[in-house]
Amino acid sequence: MITLALLQTHQLLLSTIILVLAGDETDFSGLGKLMLGGFVLAVLLAVAFTFVRLRLRDKKPAPAQFISISAFQKKE
């Protein structure tokens, strides 16, 4: 599942780069659109990364909260 998500993200990124590079040379008239597109792409990548990270965290058992190297002594 992770491999498929990474492959689709990579393919989307390459398609976006090809579309941007195939366009005419820009003289900063389309800078706002490029910045908006970059922002949207960054948000989508952040959401995908967070989703994958949370899925991996759910599959692993949680580590112990506190580990002591000294012996525990009960008070009696």
Segment 63-75, tens digit of pLDDT: 667 666 776 666 6
Which of helix, strand or coil describes residue 26? coil
Which of helix, strand or coil describes residue 24? coil
Taking the C-alpha atoms of residue 6 and residue 58, their distance in angstroms, rounded to an integer, is 19
DSSP letter at 75?
A: -
Q: For a pLDDT cut of 90, what percent of the chain falls above it?
A: 18
pTM surpassing 0.85? no
pLDDT grade for 45, boundaries at 50, 70 and 90: very high
**Residue 9 CB partners (closer than 8 Å, separation 6+):** 45, 48
